[in-house]
Amino acid sequence: MSSGVPSGAAGEWRSADELVFTRLKEQRALQALWALEAVPGQPWFGGKGVRGARLIRELSQELQAADAVQRALQGFAQDLSALLAGPFLGWPASLRHAAAVFAGKVADSWESRLRRSADAEASAEERAQLDSAWEHWLSNRLREQSLWLSLAKEKEYFEQIAKRLGLAKTELSVAEHIHGPMVALTLKAADEQVRQSHFGTLCFGALARLDDAVRRQQLPSDVVQAFCEQLDQRVYRVIDQSLESLRDAFTEARAADAGVGAAEELSAKMRALWLWTGRSMHVEVFALEQLSPVAWHLSRAKDMPRLRRILAPSIELLFSMEARILREPVELLARAAICAEMLLFWAGVEQPPGEYTALVERALRVCPGHRNARQAMAQVLCERAKTRLNFANAANHRNCIQEAAKLLEDARGLFPSCRNVEETTLKVAEAKRQWGIP
């Protein structure tokens, strides 16, 4: 029985119908994937889902993921999620592009949750979600950036997009897109209001992880190098902007002759800034340079209690710088002397005897030629020598005198003109005469 529709037309109708049905299935699979990856209960906010549906189509065609798509239609999108985790080496540009957009949308979803959880006024329940939100947000931001960078050399692909959109080639900035996530993170981290919040700390933490994340991907070396150089420049710029206010505060305090009085508060602020930047070496160097004049002033005034209060908030920065110098002594040679000096200042602020000696030894390791460190260590050795002499008796006097003489020789090698060396030399000579040792 005839349908009344020409066979050719009927065939065309069925093809169009099948296409619509396929697109609907792709969007349903996208919704399932979104429900798994994004904040639970948050609806898809990527427009009509055209780009997202294209992601599903690309996965089906390029990665033979038809079975995974079918399972997603049943509400189980774990297999699709595993495919998106990569590695994406060998994926066509169109799939990497769709995956980059999707990862960005997922990260945006978690960012709203992350901001609420990191807010100072967040509820206990919201704060409990912070770690989970951070991990989801960070992993998708890093994936988004890596996928965009993988498109850096896909010039022909982007030209085709520009042609389809009716744009001139210059209107579609590839560089703007491939560096987009990094630029956005930098702008957020640099915003003064954001920087003072916990979310600002998380933004900077993400920036600090970008370098390593990108280097782990099998991307062209020149693309990675150019990106990491720009990332470093932007990170340094953010840190410099953050340090500027502290630098101005120190300058104003010194001009008003309030440098010592303001230093305690500023020291605490430097530690907070250091933590925010992910323990940046630039903040450590800044702290040493700003606190050294204050430490000298209080040391000469013998105001050790105040010196301790000022150094205590920033002491972790000093110890971190010390560890860096020991790892890279040649590269950080210029920082060794001031670091050793600050270790000596910290040693002098009412430390127990054993801790004092350990800090002096550490100062000497950081900067073996440091004059004050050598003098301090010589004095320590002389005191040890005199202690050994005080324990001398009929049974052990020979060993005690030999040990004291060895300690004295070490002290003399470090700082011959130390007054304690002369005094200890006389005591060793006197002990030898007392016990009849030539």
pLDDT at residue number 16: 67
Other C-beta atoms within 10 Å of 107: how many?
25
C-alpha to C-alpha distance for 375 and 378, rounded to whole angstroms: 5
pLDDT at residue number 169: 60
Give me 362's structure tokens. 């550490």
Question: H/E element holding 384?
Answer: helix 371-390
CB under 8 Å to 24, separation ≥6 — which residues? none
The model's pLDDT over 156-170, given as tens digits with 9 standing for 90+, comes to 888 888 888 777 665
pLDDT of 5 over the 50 cut? no
**Helices marked H in 150-220 — which ranges?**
155-165, 174-178, 180-190, 192-195, 198-216
Q: What percent of the chain has pLDDT over 70?
A: 88
Give me 296's structure tokens. 């000298």
pLDDT at residue number 196: 66
Q: Is the peptide bond before 353 cis (omega within 30 degrees of 0)?
A: no
* Spatial contact of 315 and 307, defined as CB atoms under 8 Å apart: no
Q: Which of the two residues, 153 and 2, has the higher pLDDT score? A: 153
pLDDT at residue number 180: 84
Give me 12's structure tokens. 């065309």
What is the overall mean pLDDT for the chain?
A: 84
| Confidence band for 14, pLDDT divided at 50, 70 and 90 | low
pLDDT of 392 over the 80 cut? yes
pLDDT of 51 over the 80 cut? no
Q: Which of 183-187, 283-287, 313-317 has the lowest mean pLDDT?
A: 183-187
| Confidence band for 378, pLDDT divided at 50, 70 and 90 | very high
pLDDT of 7 over the 80 cut? no
**Helices marked H in 301-370 — which ranges?**
304-311, 315-327, 333-347, 353-366
pLDDT at residue number 413: 95
* Spatial contact of 151 and 93, defined as CB atoms under 8 Å apart: yes
Q: Which of the two residues, 357 and 189, has the higher pLDDT score? A: 357
Give me 360's structure tokens. 């002096």
C-alpha to C-alpha distance for 48 and 297, rounded to whole angstroms: 66
The model's pLDDT over 293-333, given as tens digits with 9 standing for 90+, comes to 989 988 999 999 999 999 999 999 999 999 999 999 999 99
Q: Please report the DSSP string for 284-295 in residue order.
A: HHHHHHHHHHHH
pLDDT of 259 over the 60 cut? no
Backbone φ/ψ region at 350: left (φ over 0), alpha (ψ -120 to 50), beta = left
The model's pLDDT over 81-124, given as tens digits with 9 standing for 90+, comes to 888 887 887 889 989 998 998 999 999 999 888 887 777 666 77
Q: Which of the two residues, 40 and 6, has the higher pLDDT score? A: 40
pLDDT at residue number 171: 54
The model's pLDDT over 121-151, given as tens digits with 9 standing for 90+, comes to 667 777 777 788 888 898 999 999 999 999 9
pLDDT at residue number 438: 78
* Spatial contact of 143 and 106, defined as CB atoms under 8 Å apart: no
State pTM to two decimals.
0.68
Q: Round to the nearest angstrom and report the end-to-end CA distance of the chain.
A: 132
| Confidence band for 2, pLDDT divided at 50, 70 and 90 | very low
pLDDT at residue number 4: 44
Question: H/E element holding 133?
Answer: helix 130-149
